[in-house]
A and B are shown apart, each in its own frame.
Chain A
Amino acid sequence: MIVAKPKPIGEIIDMIKDLNKVLVAGCNGCVAVCEAGGLKEVEVLASALRMHFMQEGKRMEIDEVSLTRQCDKEYFQPIDDQIDKYDAVVSLACGAGIQYMAENFGEKVIFPGVDTCFIGVTLEQGVWSERCQACGQCVLATTGGICPIARCSKRMLNGPCGGSEDGKCEISIVLGRDVPCGWHLIYERLKKMGQLDRFAHPSEDKDWIASRDGGPREITREDVRP
């Protein structure tokens, strides 16, 4: 899923402090799963914001809503009629959802309430880890199901580099936390599968045109269009 984390509340307070009516809009998709922007988070954030402004003696109306998702137009329907009365919306959806809400409600100011970080998985409750860089040209078949673009700090195709030590990436020493060496993981998988010869030959080139580097992407699937 897309993994996001809540923005520091001070930042959000700064965004809305001169306004009077604000809607906090959550999303029940990815951000709810990673506990950054679901209904629970909306309620707590809205309550905290209300308390803050009440303490300051400021009359601020902060309403709450959580939508099924914010990346499909249809799901904005519940707020279609009311959105006009708000000065701004603090959206806790991922970057895509926040933008889509802005696109959908043309004149409305939409503020981000979370920092969208990566495509990843839940390792355990409260710990999420990056797995995919959306490069547009998946090579997982050749690397034992482990992605060298997302999991190698240098996105090498012919890894590991000379800094791989004890299965850890060289940046572990700088970060102060253990980052597994993506290529070490690939090595262990390929070893189990008896495919170590992959390390003996240079790999195919990577075409970055399919990734972000080729420009903002769009997919049109004629086969599923009406």
Chain B
Amino acid sequence: MTTTPSKLEKIIKSGQYAVTSECGPPRNGNPEGIAKKAELIKDHVDAINVTDNQTAVVRQCSLASCIRLKLMGLEPVLQMVTRDRNRIALQSDILGATAFGISNVLCLTGDHQRFGDHPSAVNVFDYDSTKLIQTVKMMRDDGRLQGGFEMHEHRPNMFIGAAENPFADPFEIRALRLAKKVEAGAQFIQTQCIYNMDKFKAWMKEVRALGLHEKVAILAGLTPMKNVGMAKYMKNRVPGMDVPDSVVKRLQGVPKDKQASEGIKMLIEQIEELKQEEGVRGFHIMAIEWEEKVPEIVEAAGLYPRPSVN
């Protein structure tokens, strides 16, 4: 029995692997930008995340794009960061999403605005991701806003997700943090993209030791490497990203025009390996600005066609 109308929740509860992906909205008012990306992947994923001003770079707001996807008959996941909005705006957006039947929300704290193109902005962070999870849960299960107001009808009914980074420090508390988010109300997790399989497995071991794999559905995050440059950039310039030397070396070992396909190959190998990992309930494929590769990946990983649920 599912808690929400979410299609993603239904697939997860059915015991099959879930497949999600993400799309970034355009940096202008283009009404078709998100629709075009979604068209490329819609038959190969169960739900589509729309990023929320990712890396603090201004783009069309996630809510607008999610509404568009919903109107196209697709299943959006509303990503919400707490960096830019206070509790008033966050709850307001949840209500707006509810009005359009959006049933999935991914609660994030968000990259610091110094990474983006408006580093001078005020830093909101009224809540962090954990508090946002609690808030959405309260709105759904108690029908209350944080300030106490009670909604007698049309309560948000969202499948609540969160992110977790098994590769950030300190490692010792990464499983505890997941426990905290689960206690707050997280029902599914999408992890930071995995390159260090050993570390991910070590984290999964801790997660299983706490019994969390039975309380929350973990979707393994994966991003295909396009070339050596990307691998090195991710390794050195992105905080919280763990790219082992072996990954870089493997890409270096093939000619430049073959690196992209090698990256895809590596990702598919990872999926196969992760299918053996108890507690992994699906895959979150983040092929940013490379969405056209998602169908190929999903098919090669034996995850196509996607199941249909009612």
Q: Which residues of A contact B (CB under 8 A)?
A: 153-175, 181, 184, 187, 191, 196-197, 199-203, 205, 208
Could you jot down 10 A-B contacts, CB within 8 Å? A153-B123, A156-B128, A158-B130, A160-B169, A163-B239, A164-B170, A165-B239, A165-B240, A167-B170, A184-B169
Are B130 and A173 touching (Cβ within 8 A)? no
Shortest Cβ gap from B261 to chain A (Å): 30
CB contact under 8 A between A164 and B131, given known A187-B173, A196-B173, A208-B126: no
Are A205 and B170 touching (Cβ within 8 A)? no
Complex interface: chain A residues within 8 A of B239 (CB): 163-165, 168, 170, 172-173
Complex interface: chain A residues within 8 A of B119 (CB): 174
- Cβ contacts B146-190/A at 8 Å (1 or 0 each): 100000000000000001110011101100110110011000000
Query: What CA separation (Å) do A168 and B240 show in the bound complex?
Result: 10
Are B240 and A156 touching (Cβ within 8 A)? no
- Cβ contacts B118-140/A at 8 Å (1 or 0 each): 01000101101111001000000
Shortest Cβ gap from B148 to chain A (Å): 12
Interface of A is mostly: loop
Nearest B residue to A157, CB-CB:
B128
Shortest Cβ gap from A186 to chain B (Å): 10
Cross-chain contact of B131 among A157, A163, A168, A199 (Cβ < 8 A): A157
Cross-chain contact of A173 among B123, B126, B165, B237 (Cβ < 8 A): B237
Are A164 and B240 touching (Cβ within 8 A)? yes
Query: What CA separation (Å) do A142 and B49 show in the bound complex?
Result: 35
Q: Which residues of B contact A (CB under 8 A)?
A: 83, 109-112, 114-115, 119, 123, 125-126, 128-131, 134, 146, 163-165, 168-170, 172-173, 176-177, 179-180, 183-184, 192, 237, 239-240
Query: What CA separation (Å) do A172 and B169 show in the bound complex?
Result: 15
Query: What CA separation (Å) do A202 and B177 show in the bound complex?
Result: 9
CB contact under 8 A between A153 and B169, given known A159-B128, A202-B130: no
Cross-chain contact of B125 among A154, A160, A184, A205 (Cβ < 8 A): A154
Shortest Cβ gap from B255 to chain A (Å): 31
Cross-chain contact of A163 among B111, B126, B177, B183 (Cβ < 8 A): B111
Nearest A residue to B242, CB-CB:
A165
Complex interface: chain B residues within 8 A of A172 (CB): 239
Query: What CA separation (Å) do A223 and B126 show in the bound complex?
Result: 34
Query: What CA separation (Å) do A147 and B177 show in the bound complex?
Result: 19
CB contact under 8 A between A158 and B180, given known A163-B240, A164-B240: yes
Are A158 and B129 touching (Cβ within 8 A)? yes
Shortest Cβ gap from A130 to chain B (Å): 14
CB contact under 8 A between A170 and B240, given known A165-B168, A205-B131: yes
Cross-chain contact of A156 among B125, B165, B170, B183 (Cβ < 8 A): B125
Are B111 and A202 touching (Cβ within 8 A)? no
Shortest Cβ gap from A157 to chain B (Å): 6
Are B169 and A165 touching (Cβ within 8 A)? yes
Nearest B residue to A173, CB-CB:
B239
Query: What CA separation (Å) do A57 and B123 show in the bound complex?
Result: 47
Complex interface: chain A residues within 8 A of B146 (CB): 205
CB contact under 8 A between A155 and B125, given known A163-B239, A173-B237, A201-B180: yes
Are B131 and A202 touching (Cβ within 8 A)? yes
Query: What CA separation (Å) do A193 and B1 show in the bound complex?
Result: 43
Are B240 and A162 touching (Cβ within 8 A)? yes
Nearest B residue to A156, CB-CB:
B128
Complex interface: chain A residues within 8 A of B179 (CB): 200
Complex interface: chain B residues within 8 A of A175 (CB): 114
